[in-house]
């Protein structure tokens, strides 16, 4: 029996174990996927345990996608460029870090959102690990500009500094004030929420990451939170006439890419989507953004 897990804190929200276990069982792989809720002081010990031969690896979610990097032996160049890791693979006791959030976001934006980022003006809310992956996807997709706002100005500064040399996309960060947001969203074609605001089971579940009157009515609003399936941001965006996209497809696509890194088998996407949607049915709601 092999083991894979999700490292984060808290984890009551997560449905990763549901759809990953469904994929493992469908392919008849002798492995289990667990949730490893880990406090900050126990992170080093938890990561070190993945070196054991019966562990295939792990996913990493908030708040550890950036701080886990020094604990690993190797970092994939893409993950290194992003500055965040969401997937760890155990290769004979050596831990290798990858980022599948970027490809998961790009695939969801293209296939589910029908959106081509090339030449687009984008506003990004949140500069954490997920925000870094999303920004890299937009840079590689040749977006014209990405305006980033975060309550932690230094974190946003670091993102712009680290990723601003990756391509021709203009990256800028602004303070999260109402006036700044109003100016940023004027004329944008894509708004992406990478904050946890709106996540089920959080104290901010019923909040908005920005004033409702500033939600751009002519843009695609992509909230990477997946539970609830329709966050308050998405509901308000629909009321304003905007197109919307929730985070479930990004979650499953990034999870499928992780699955393939651990198992060297093609991920059964239909099985994973079916299990994820079932887990988020009204009678079985469990969580939010991984």
Handedness of CA 39, 247, 223, 108 (dihedral sign): positive
Clarify whether 65 is annotated catalytic: yes
Q: Find the distance separating the first CA and the last CA of the chain, reported in whole Å.
A: 25
pLDDT, one tens digit per residue, over 168-178 is 999 999 998 89
**pLDDT > 90 in the chain, percent:** 89
Q: What is the pLDDT of residue 239?
A: 97
**Boundaries of every domain in the chain:** 2-100+249-284, 102-247
Is 243 a residue whose pLDDT tops 60? yes
Q: Which residues 6+ apart lie within 8 Å of 98 measured at CB?
A: 76, 78, 79, 85, 86, 87, 88, 89, 258, 261
Compute the distance between CA of residue 208 and CA of residue 128 in angstroms, rounded to an integer. Answer: 18
pLDDT, one tens digit per residue, over 135-149 is 999 999 999 999 999
Among residues 65, 142, 178, 203, the one annotated as catalytic is 65
Compute the distance between CA of residue 69 and CA of residue 263 in angstroms, rounded to an integer. Answer: 22
Which residue from 59, 181, 197, 44 is spatially nearest to 123, judged by alpha carbons? 181
Q: Compute the average pLDDT of residues 215-243.
A: 96
Is 28 a residue whose pLDDT tops 50? yes
Q: What is the pLDDT of residue 205?
A: 87
Q: What is the pLDDT of residue 12?
A: 83
Q: Compute the average pLDDT of residues 42-56.
A: 98
Do 97 and 126 contact (CB within 8 A), yes or no?
no
Q: Across the chain, what does the average pLDDT equal? A: 94
Name the residue with higher pLDDT: 49 or 205: 49
Is 201 a residue whose pLDDT tops 90? no
Q: What is the pLDDT of residue 166?
A: 86
Q: What is the pLDDT of residue 281?
A: 84
Cβ atoms < 10 Å from Cβ of 91: 12
Q: What is the pLDDT of residue 289?
A: 44
pLDDT band at 43 (very low <50, low <70, confident <90, very high): very high
Comparing 2-100+249-284 with 102-247, is the CATH topology the same?
yes
Q: Compute the average pLDDT of residues 38-42.
A: 97
pLDDT band at 268 (very low <50, low <70, confident <90, very high): very high
Is 287 a residue whose pLDDT tops 50? no
* CA R_g for the chain: 18
pLDDT band at 202 (very low <50, low <70, confident <90, very high): confident
Is 197 a residue whose pLDDT tops 50? yes
Q: Compute the average pLDDT of residues 107-113.
A: 98
SS3 content of the chain, % helix, strand, coil (to 5): 40, 20, 40
CA 66 from centre of chain: 13
The pTM (predicted TM-score) of the whole model is 0.94
Compute the distance between CA of residue 219 and CA of residue 225 in angstroms, rounded to an integer. Answer: 18
Cβ atoms < 10 Å from Cβ of 273: 18
Compute the distance between CA of residue 194 and CA of residue 210 in angstroms, rounded to an integer. Answer: 12
> What is the CATH class of 2-100+249-284?
alpha beta
Architecture of domain 102-247: 3-Layer(aba) Sandwich (3.40)
């Amino acid at each position: 029996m092999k083991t894979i897990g999700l490292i984060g804190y808290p984890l009551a929200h997560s449905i990763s174990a549901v759809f990953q276990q469904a994929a493992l069982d469908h392919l008849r792989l002798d492995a289990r996927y667990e949730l490893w809720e880990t406090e900050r002081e126990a992170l080093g010990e938890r990561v070190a345990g993945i070196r054991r031969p019966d562990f295939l690896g792990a996913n990493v979610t908030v708040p550890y996608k950036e701080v886990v990097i020094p604990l690993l032996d190797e970092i994939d160049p893409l993950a290194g460029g992003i500055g965040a890791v969401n997937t760890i693979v155990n290769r004979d006791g050596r831990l290798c870090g990858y980022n599948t959030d970027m490809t998961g976001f790009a695939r969801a934006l293209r296939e589910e959102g029908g959106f081509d980022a090339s030449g687009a003006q984008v506003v990004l809310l949140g500069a954490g690990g997920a925000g870094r992956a999303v920004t890299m996807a937009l840079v590689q997709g040749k977006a014209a500009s990405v305006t980033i706002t975060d309550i932690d100005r230094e974190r946003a500064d670091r993102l712009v500094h680290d990723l601003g040399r990756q391509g021709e996309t203009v990256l800028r960060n602004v303070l999260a004030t109402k006036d700044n947001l109003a100016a940023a969203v004027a004329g944008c074609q894509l708004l992406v929420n990478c904050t946890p605001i709106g996540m089920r089971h959080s104290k901010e579940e019923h909040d908005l990451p920005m004033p409702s009157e500033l939600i751009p009515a002519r843009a695609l609003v992509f909230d990477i939170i997946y539970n609830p399936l329709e966050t308050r941001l998405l509901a308000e965006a629909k009321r304003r006439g905007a197109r919307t996209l929730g985070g479930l497809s990004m979650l499953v696509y990034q999870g499928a890419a992780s699955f393939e890194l651990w198992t060297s088998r093609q991920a059964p996407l239909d099985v994973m989507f079916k299990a994820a949607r079932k887990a988020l049915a009204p009678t079985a709601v469990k969580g939010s953004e991984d």
